[in-house]
Amino acid sequence: MTIIKLNAIDSTNSYLRQLCDTIPVDDMTIVVADFQNKGRGLMGTAWNSEKGKNLTYSVFKRHVCFLVDRNFYVSMVTSLALIKTLKRFKIRDLSIKWPNDILAGNKKICGILIENVIKRNQLEISIIGIGLNVNQHNFVNLPNASSMKKLTGSVFNLDKVLRVFQKEIKTYFEILKHEEYELLKNEYERNLFQQKKKSQFKMPSGNVMTGIIEGVNEQGELIIRDHDGIKTSYGFKELELIY
């Protein structure tokens, strides 16, 4: 597995996408940068990170015969690999805030942005962007953010954390390759933040809805049971979990 290290870049996702348009890129190549000046999160949000303190990187994944309607399994695999990695470093109380933020307690420690290339109704390539807060301690105007150092008081070797993640995501992609969808979905749901608990959700209209998270469907939509026992599936643009 190839690792490309950069000092500073606008976005590792953008760099990797431009690279694979130019030359052949090996499967599972990782591009990691000390600093991103245009790091991006889900739905166009910015990802801010102190230079040299955290892991900001992207993974190139090539798929074979993978139907586009199962693309959320890439998010599941990535989230689970990150959970397993963080557990290796004794980070506790981990969960996945749907669709793919990683929390420790109720604090965000990691974000994921996945960009896919689709051809003829098949997922051909995924570029998986990850921002993992490792050694940063202060988060100005980000009250819901935390890091491995802030949670444990220890300073972590960035290369070691990345190597552990490499191993874990390779393992989970092997599970996906063998089409063990139910196993991955069940593990993802077991790690969902607020699973089986009453939660509040903000709708695009501004209205707030109360319901219980039951899990996700194969398209990655969140399944919520309302007070009448009716289950409804929602895409990530259709509601926001309030926490």
What pLDDT is recorded for position 43?
46
Q: How far apart are CA 159 and CA 38, in angstroms?
A: 22
Q: How confident is residue 36, by pLDDT bands cut at 50, 70 and 90? A: confident
What pLDDT is recorded for position 51?
85
Residue 81 has pLDDT above 80, yes or no: yes
CB 239 within 8 A of CB 203: yes
Residue 113 has pLDDT above 80, yes or no: yes
Average pLDDT on 197-203 reads 94
Q: How confident is residue 59, by pLDDT bands cut at 50, 70 and 90? A: very high
Average pLDDT on 150-179 reads 97
What pLDDT is recorded for position 46?
52
Q: For the segment 126-164, what is each residue's pLDDT rounded down to a tens digit? A: 999 999 999 999 998 888 999 999 999 999 999 999 999
Residue 236 has pLDDT above 90, yes or no: no
Q: Which helix (H) or strand (E) holds 30?
A: strand 30-36
Nearest CA to 211 among 189, 196, 193? 196
Every domain of the chain and the residues it spans: 3-190, 198-242
Looking only at the bridges linking them, the beta strands covering 55-62 and 107-119 are unpaired
CATH number of 198-242: 2.30.30
Q: How far apart are CA 221 and CA 207, in angstroms?
A: 19
Q: Any bridge partners for residue 40, and if so which?
A: 46
Q: How far apart are CA 104 and CA 92, in angstroms?
A: 6
Q: How far apart are CA 128 and CA 58, in angstroms?
A: 5
CATH number of 3-190: 3.30.930.10
> What DSSP assignment string belongs to 40-52?
B-GGG-B----TT
Number of neighbours of residue 210 by Cβ within 10 angstroms = 12
Q: What radius of gyration, in Å, describes the C-alpha atoms of the chain? A: 18
Average pLDDT on 206-231 reads 95
What pLDDT is recorded for position 12?
94
Cut 0.85: pTM above it: yes
Average pLDDT on 42-63 reads 80
**DSSP tag of 193:** T
